[in-house]
Structures are given as C-alpha cells and as structure tokens.
Amino acid sequence: MIEKTIAGLKVGDDQPVRVMGVINLSRESFYKGSVIPSDSVLDAALKMVEEGADLIDIGARSTWPLAGKISKEEEHSRLIPAVKLLKEVTVPISIDTMFSDIADEALDAGAGIINDVSGFTADAGMADVAKDHGCPVILMASNRVPGDPVGMDAVMDSLERIISSAEEKGISPDNIIIDPAIGRWTPEKLPIYDYETIDNLQRLRIFEKPILAAISRKSFIGETLNKPAGERLYGSLAATAIAVRNGAHIIRTHDVAPTIDAVRVAESARARIPSIRSGIIEAELLYIKNPEDCKRAMHSIGATSAGSEVMKKKTVHYNIKLRNITTTEALIIKQEMLARGGDAALPREAVSHETDKVSLIIAGTQLQVERLIKKIRHQVRELPLIADMLSELINKKNDVVFGYSR
C-alpha cells in the first residue's frame, strides 16, 4: 500500500488523487497560454487553490527542448521573488528547478518541495539541499539529459537507479515522488512511448512511491490530434483520466478546474488495491506484468540476484486461446503443459476424439509457456507452427510498436 505524507499533504492509494497546478514564469514555454506575468502570480495561485488544487508547482525555465535558453541568473530573478509572493498560499509549493542553489533559496523563501526534472543528475548538490531541508522531492526519469529514457523498460531502469542513488545520499524513502517523464524530451521520444507509459503506470507501483503524471497539453497529444498547445485541453483530459485509472497519485496540470472533474470521475472507476493489515503484519496483492519488475520486487525484500533471476518468469501468467487445432495436437499440448506445472482447458469431445478440430486455452507462467514452445517446436503435425505462433504472440505482447502504433 502506497501511503505518504508530502509537505503535510497525505498522498497515496487511499487518498484522493492530488492535483498540482502549474505556475509558469517562462516566456519560452511551448504553451504561451500558460505563462503567468510576474505581477499576477499570487492571483493565479489563489485561483488554482480555489478551483481545488492541492499543490502549486512554480518554475521559470522552460524544459521544452526547442525553447530558447536562459541563464541561471535569469531563472533566479524570475523565480525567487515569485516564490516569496506565495507565502500566503495555503497549499504546498513545489519549486521546479535543476539548480541546487536556486532550490536552496526557494525553500528558504517558502517552497516546500523540490521538483527536479533531471532526477538529481544535473546538479550534484541538489541531493544535499534536499537532505538538509528534509523536504520531499519529485524525481523524473532521466539518464544523461532530462526525460531521455525511451520506452517503459528504460523508464523503470532509470527510476530504479535514481531512487537508489537518492536514498544512498540520505534522502528519506518517504520523501520521494516519482515522475515517468511523459513528453517528447528528446527527438527519439515518439508518442507511442508516452502512450505505453500511460498504459503501464501501474508498473511503477513496484517502487512503492507516489506517482506523478505530468501530461498537460504535451506534444504527444498535439501529434495525435494535430493541434497546437492551446487546443489540447480535451486531449489532455482524456490522457489524464487514463493515467489516473492506471495508478497516478498526482496530476500536474495547467488547467486545474477541468482536470479535477476528469480526475474525480477516473478515480471512481479505479478499483482499490487489495491489502490487509493486522498489527505489524501486512498483505498486498502485487501487480506484476513484466518479469523485470518481479526482480525489482524481490530485490526490495532482500532476495539474491541469482534467486530473482530464476524466479522472475514464474510470476507472469499467460492465458492463451488456440482455435482450430486437431484433437491430437490439443491433447499433446495439454500433456506437455501438465508436465511443466501448467495446464490447458479443452472440450470433452477432444478427449473422446468425437471432433476433428477444437479450441484450447493454455494457462501457465511465462516460463512454462516458453518451455512448452521449446518442446513442441520439434514435434509432429502442426505443432512446430503452433510453437512459432505462440512465440510470436509473446513477442507481440512486449512489442511497443505493435502495441501502440495505429
């Protein structure tokens, strides 16, 4: 069960999905309609809070790859005075910066959270600032530059490394929020990868951290709809609803009021995570659809790397339906699955050979199915063809291009 208190705000599975309003001071932003004049910062923040924002995120440097670059001094001159204006705002203030000295001053000026899109990779001093202030941090998946992991597997690898590094540097595990870097941060980051991420947000639960999704008006929505940033609200709301349905705990948005409506409906359609606690004993059903995530879960409880490697393919379960195969082939497949600890369901007529063609449902772990494929690949009849089909089926399941290209 994910349950944290972030700057006094409870965030987690049994809490409402939190909405973070964006105060954008960057004139270089991809979405010009989001830029707030310096003399309107307080009014904009108060309006967002009135609309229901649980947090405010304020930044002065555009992270859009095509944005004009500004100096650190310019970022500082925009940001620090604005943070000071927000002291009377009643919700936590997050500071969006990659520079440790700016973050340090902003925290002294009243901010309570660091939002570092580089995941502590841009400025080695950022972790020390966060540790010294004991403040929560939002860490985005990044390797060499912000947001560069391409594909959900790369996002998982990046966040695993970033979380481990942050905790080794003294950041409390309870103070870390993770961001999977949705958006075209690099040219290689095509829209299919953002859709894969949104569809697989639940994989991030393995890290036991609150999940932040920053979706608002981003380029993958624009490329899908062929619309500029100013016309992407409805697309943003659709993507937001899917992200909430798939496990996001915090939504970062330029459009607070309509986003809250989408969030409330989507979270009502999200089933609660089954978990039980009695005294100090806890039980929770894990969501594991990828063998590497199984390894991560096992590492988290202290299992060895060797043991985790052996176990990982035993945790992902397949149910595969085969149609129009011969009764003989069906019976062989069932026998081979039973021999490997799995099973297969087939009609009664197959056992008595009362029909020539039947359908079959294979039920087993990834490891059992892979061993079945290896076994029947060199047998008689159409079994080698069936082995190839099963292999291709599994490959398609893990193929991002197949899954998300239209």
Which residues have a catalytic role annotated? 218, 252
Judged by DSSP in three states, 54 sits in coil
Strand positions, DSSP E, 85-218: 93-96, 113-116, 137-140, 176-179, 212-214
Q: DSSP label at 142?
A: B
State both tokens at 291. Answer: 């063998």
Q: DSSP label at 314?
A: G
State both tokens at 67. Answer: 């944005």
Query: Do 83 and 58 meet the contact criterion of CB atoms below 8 Å apart?
Result: yes
State both tokens at 202. Answer: 């639940």
State both tokens at 131. Answer: 């540790």
Rounded distance between C-alpha atoms, residue 120 and residue 140, angstroms:
9
Angle at 398 between CA 393 and CA 404, to 5 degrees: 100
**N-term to C-term CA, the chain:** 35
What does 146-168 look like in DSSP terms, one character per residue? Answer: BT---SHHHHHHHHHHHHHHHHH
Residue showing tokens 């002291």: 87
Rounded distance between C-alpha atoms, residue 179 and residue 209, angstroms:
10
Candidates 359, 372, 206, 376; CA nearest to 295 is: 206
For residue 338, give the amino acid letter. Answer: L
Strands 93-96 and 357-365: unpaired
Count CA atoms closer than 13 A to 135's CA, side-chain side.
26
Rounded distance between C-alpha atoms, residue 212 and residue 250, angstroms:
5
Query: Do 200 and 153 meet the contact criterion of CB atoms below 8 Å apart?
Result: no
Rounded distance between C-alpha atoms, residue 320 and residue 344, angstroms:
9
Element housing 176 (H / E): strand 176-179
